[in-house]
């Protein structure tokens, strides 16, 4: 199921998160890496090793099978079934987090623009971030040019829900409309904030 197809669905159908006692027909075992997963939205996508279209994973299935959340880059083995709009996880068999329990750094996915040249890491502060719109701005301080940051850049490096005032390290460079963040890291060297 593509992200675009899923976004066209008004609400997640109740029958999509099947009860454990159901025995669906046509289950296929898939293995792949988490592209992204957002607990507050209630779903995410797995990129299968087979190269086929992304597979939808719903939070109710994840939790029913004993997992609270999964992070970008985690390896997932699951049983999936074809639904009207594509493949969807029916049962999670195993989850292995990236090295050191952190999300692996995934390549950019469908970013519209990338910084043309990137300097070293600098300390920045989240000026504002709009999760629904999928972007925000970072600042190096009063009187400096704002740095545009896309949700995919944040997710790729483990930040799920940055809040104004959060500090992090960022590498950035000129983009088509101003400065553009290319990479972010937590100040403490650990994972990004998953939520507040």
pLDDT band at 1 (very low <50, low <70, confident <90, very high): low
Report d(CA 93, CA 172) in Å as an integer.
39
For the chain, the structural domain boundaries read: 3-101, 122-185
* Mean predicted lDDT score pLDDT of the chain: 77
| pLDDT tens per residue across span 25-52 | 789 999 999 998 887 788 999 999 999 9
Quote the strand ranges of the chain, DSSP E. Answer: 28-38, 43-48, 55-58, 75-83, 86-96, 122-130, 135-139, 147-150, 167-175, 178-185
The conformational region for residue 6 under phi > 0 = left, psi -120 to 50 = alpha, else beta, is: alpha
The model scores a pTM over 0.85: no
pLDDT at 72: 85
Fold of 3-101: OB fold (Dihydrolipoamide Acetyltransferase, E2P) (2.40.50)
pLDDT at 145: 95
What's the token pair of residue 107? 């390549």
Fold of 122-185: OB fold (Dihydrolipoamide Acetyltransferase, E2P) (2.40.50)
């Amino acid at each position: 199921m593509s992200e675009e197809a899923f976004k066209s669905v008004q609400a997640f159908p109740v029958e999509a998160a099947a009860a454990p006692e159901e025995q669906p027909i046509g289950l296929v075992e898939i293995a792949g890496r988490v592209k992204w997963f957002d607990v507050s939205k209630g779903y995410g996508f797995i990129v299968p090793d087979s190269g086929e279209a992304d597979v939808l994973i719903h939070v109710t299935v994840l939790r029913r099978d004993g997992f609270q959340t999964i992070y970008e880059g985690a390896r997932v083995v699951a049983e999936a079934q074809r639904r009207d709009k594509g493949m969807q996880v029916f049962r999670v068999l195993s989850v292995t987090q990236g090295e050191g329990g952190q999300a692996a750094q995934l390549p950019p996915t469908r970013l519209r623009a990338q910084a043309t040249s990137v300097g070293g890491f600098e300390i920045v502060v989240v000026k504002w971030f709009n999760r629904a719109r999928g972007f925000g701005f970072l600042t190096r301080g009063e009187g400096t040019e704002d740095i545009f940051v896309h949700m995919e850049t944040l997710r790729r490096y483990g930040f799920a829900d940055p809040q104004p005032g959060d500090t992090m390290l960022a590498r950035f460079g000129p983009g088509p409309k101003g400065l553009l963040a290319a990479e972010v890291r937590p100040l403490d060297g650990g994972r990004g904030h998953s939520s507040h």
